Amino acid sequence: MDPDIAIVRDHFLRLQSEIVKTFEELDGAAKFSSERIESVRGGFSQPRVLANGKILEKAAVQFTYTLGEQLPAAASESRPHLAGSGFAATSISTIVHPRNPHIPTTHLNLRMFVVDTKPKVWYFGGGFDLTPYLPYEEDFVEWHQFARQACSSDEQYKTLKRKCDEYFFIHHRNECRGIGGLFFDDYDDGGFEASFQFVQSVGKNFLTAYSSLIERRRNIKWSVEEEDWMLIRRGRYAEFNLAIDRGTKYGLQSGRRIESVLASLPPRAKWVYDHLAAPNSPQDRLKDYLKPGIDWVNFVDNSVYSDES
């Protein structure tokens, strides 16, 4: 099969519909907005956003298809020489901020670039990650089992999991944004057909994994303290997205539609000066899991974890 961005674009459009449908069913109350925004040379975007749901406080599932004259440097991590060429790009990104602190926040991104060099260069990028508020080990293990399942080998999973830990490390807080998942860029392993298969697998496993977490935790009652904790942790999420994230940075600098770029920001967040969770509370124990290098797929119990951390 020849590399064909139209096939990938249409797959992302279907995936967007599927994610929207699944989230609306899971929420049971709120619906996603629907827009189609035309851009130059036949490109278009479809931001779909849900607000104030019963389960989902805010969710954004955004599709873009771009035909550009000059590839931005930020679009390729390891091939800066491509910058400036004409290109086509398509992407889907998803972010969910649930209402219940027992359900983690999550993020998915999938994208394909085709660059008008001779011969054409194409590659995929993306990944998914999980940002929990409370330390449910079984959730984290299951999440990474789905991440492993999205990959074609242990080795691939380990590589992309490590990249994810690295990308989402917040140096100024000395912790990871969450418990990770998969992260890949400049990806063309095994040619177009194999790569596209992998990208489809990532999207599918993401949706299954996150739906499972929502179902397991949706009926847990939460306290004001737990909600407050979630809002403080969401502040750190905003710190990452605004001060560190490459995609946001590129979006802010390139003058893309700002409401789309910042749709990932939390609906509500708090910053409390020098806030510390009560020692040994679940909130306090969360920090033990926000570390790079935890072997979640082979994770057994706390003693194993303690040896490694």
3-state secondary structure of 147: helix
Q: First and final CA of the chain: distance in angstroms? A: 45
Task: Write down the least CB distance from residue 101 to a second copy, Å.
Answer: 16
Window 21-40: contact mask with a second copy (x via CB under 8 A): ------------x-------
Is 51 a residue that touches a second copy (CB under 8 A)? yes
Q: Is 107 a catalytic residue?
A: yes
Is 258 a residue that touches a second copy (CB under 8 A)? yes
- Measured from the CB atom, the residue of 218 and 249 that comes closer to a second copy is 249
Interacting residue with a second copy among 259, 288, 295, 308 (CB under 8 A) = 259
**Could you say which of 11, 97, 102, 107 is catalytic?**
107
**b/e map of 141-161 (b: 16 or more CB within 10 Å)?**
ebbbbbbbebbeeeebbeebb
Phi and psi of 194, rounded to 5°?
-65, -40
Interacting residue with a second copy among 120, 162, 204, 270 (CB under 8 A) = 270
Q: Which residues contact 282 (CB under 8 A, 6 or more apart)?
A: 134, 135
Phi and psi of 7, rounded to 5°?
-65, -40
Q: How far apart are CA 90 and CA 35, in angstroms?
A: 17
Q: Indicate the helix (H) or strand (E) that contains 206.
A: helix 191-217
Is 271 a residue that touches a second copy (CB under 8 A)? yes
Tokens coding 290: 């926000």
Window 225-254: contact mask with a second copy (x via CB under 8 A): ------x---x--xx--xx----xx--x--
Point out which span in 43-51, 73-81, 123-131, 199-207 binds a second copy (CB under 8 A). 43-51
Q: How far apart are CA 206 and CA 128, in angstroms?
A: 7
Window 164-203: contact mask with a second copy (x via CB under 8 A): -------xxx------------------------------
Q: How far apart are CA 171 and CA 174, in angstroms?
A: 5
Would you state the torsion angle of the CA atoms of residues 137, 140, 143, 148, taken in this order, to the nearest 10 degrees?
-100
- Measured from the CB atom, the residue of 174 and 197 that comes closer to a second copy is 174
Number of shown-chain residues binding a second copy (CB under 8 A): 34
Interacting residue with a second copy among 179, 266, 286, 294 (CB under 8 A) = 266
Is 267 a residue that touches a second copy (CB under 8 A)? yes
Decide: 114 and 121 in contact? Cβ < 8 Å. yes
Chain residues in the site for a second copy (CB under 8 A): 33, 47, 49, 51, 58, 60, 171-173, 231, 235, 238-239, 242-243, 248-249, 252, 255, 258-259, 261-263, 265-274
- Active-site residues, by number, are 107
